[in-house]
Amino acid sequence: MKVAIIGCGNIGSKRAIAISKNKGTLIKYIVGKKKRKVVKDYLAQKISKKLKVNYTTDRTSVIGSDVESVILSTQPDLFLKVGKEILRSRKHLLVEKPLGLNSREAEELIKVARKNHVYLKTGFNLRFDDGIILAKKLITKKNIGKIFFIKIEYVNGAAKTNKNGVGSLSDIGSHSLNLFEYFVSKKLKILNSSWQQNEYFKDDNGFVTIKSGNILGFIHHSFVRWENKFFLEISGEKGSITVDSLPKWGKQTVTYSKRVYPSGKPKQKKWFFSKDNSWLNEWIFFKNQIKKKNFKDIQEGLITMKNIDLIKKMKN
């Protein structure tokens, strides 16, 4: 598959390096910024040299080329405009989360994708993290039985450096909302939300309580937690599963705790992961969906964005 990457900063470069190792994938172009102001703006050019890929700042010629798919990882305020250009050229699109600035933009992109019969995938790479996949398998096997609650804390200290311009809820918070959807496979209900405002973004630090059926959920999203942290806990009638950290920060630990009746210290089993395969795993999934021509299930990004819109409308 011939692919172009438009926007190759922090996330785009990770995707480029990951998919360059995939057999049957050819990165033909990397598109960088026309006006480069800071060191990070030169990263696309640096990665293109490293991977021996054509570098350009002319996205129009790239969209009109013979590439079959495009990875779009610019800032979210360009997703609607550039995403529609890509989809109208009948190229498959993997676009970073969030899918636009709001659900209206997400709906527009889905509409264009369907009209042109191409696949649109929102980039939620955490679903393809090895530890998260293991947690999902344990749940599917009913190792913890009926789920009681899910807690997700995904936070970092990017308030001064993050350039997405959408705040922590739409950025890393969207990952947590999407993971809750992944584990429960049912529609979510937003119960309440609170956040702190500061000079950077209006939702730099917040908490969201959600529910799906009888399953309660609690999410903490933040750009003002000055040490990166990811922690997931899923507790049920027969035990619990925790995922501590992400491989991109070092060692990730997945712990399955089997409940001991009537009470007592649970029996535990642990797994450890140190390599971040999420980017490559997601790319392989993207390619397989295209191969199978499975273009119907493209609403993942919209569902998450609708929940984000609801949270933002709530009184703080």
| pLDDT tens profile 183-214 | 998 889 999 999 887 776 777 899 999 999 99
Range of the domain at 50: 2-124
CATH number of the domain that residue 180 is part of: 3.30.360.10
Q: Would 134 be classed as within a structural domain?
A: yes
Examine the domain organization and report whether 176 and 99 are in the same domain. no
Sign of CA dihedral 97, 102, 107, 108: negative
Does one domain contain both 247 and 143?
Answer: yes
Q: Do 90 and 108 lie in a common domain?
A: yes
Q: Which is nearest to 306 in space by CA: 181, 196, 213, 221?
A: 181
pLDDT bin (cut points 50, 70, 90) of residue 46 is very high
Q: What's the rounded mean pLDDT across residues 67-77? A: 96
pLDDT score, position 196: 82
Residue 158: pLDDT band (50, 70, 90) is: confident
Looking at the structure, tell me whether residues 97 and 135 fall in a common domain: no
Within a domain: 290: no
Largest Cα span, the chain: 67
Please check whether residues 39 and 176 belong to one and the same domain: no
Does 303 map to a domain?
A: no
Is residue 193, in this structure, part of any structural domain at all? yes
Same domain, 268 and 143: yes
Helix and strand element counts for the chain (H, E): 10, 14
Q: Do 135 and 96 belong to one domain?
A: no
Point out the least confidently predicted range of 32-41, 126-135, 143-152. Answer: 32-41
Per-residue model confidence (pLDDT) at position 226: 86
20 and 109 both lie in a single domain: yes
pLDDT at 153 exceeding the cut of 70: yes
pLDDT for 91-106, tens place per residue? Answer: 999 999 999 999 999 9
> Is residue 161 situated within a structural domain?
yes
Single-letter residue type at 186: K
Share of residues in the chain with pLDDT > 90 (%): 82
Answer yes or no: is pLDDT of 34 > 90: no
Compute how many other C-beta atoms are within 10 angstroms of the C-beta atom of residue 184.
19
Q: Are residues 139 and 269 in the same domain?
A: yes
Q: Is the dihedral of CA 204, 311, 96, 22 positive or negative?
A: positive
**Average pLDDT of the chain to the nearest whole number:** 93
Asked if residue 295 is part of any domain, the answer here is no
pLDDT attached to residue 213:
93
Residues 180 and 137 in one domain: yes
pLDDT digits (tens, 9 = 90+) for 117-136: 999 999 999 999 999 999 99
Instruction: Answer with the residue of higher pLDDT: 197 or 112.
Output: 112
Whether residues 141 and 119 fall in one domain: no
What's the CATH number where 83 sits? 3.40.50.720
Name the token pair of 45.
Answer: 């050019």
Residue 214 included in any domain: yes
- The structural domain count of the chain equals 2
Q: Does residue 266 share a domain with residue 161? A: yes
Question: Do the Cβ atoms of 168 and 157 come closer than 8 Å?
Answer: no
d(CA 173, CA 222) in angstroms, rounded, equals: 8
Of the CA atoms within 13 Å of residue 247, those in its CB half-sphere come to 17
Domain end (from 70, 98, 124): 124
Give the Cα-Cα-Cα angle 163, 9, 225 (nearest 5 degrees): 45
Residue 183 maps to a domain: yes
**Tokens standing for residue 287:** 């390619």
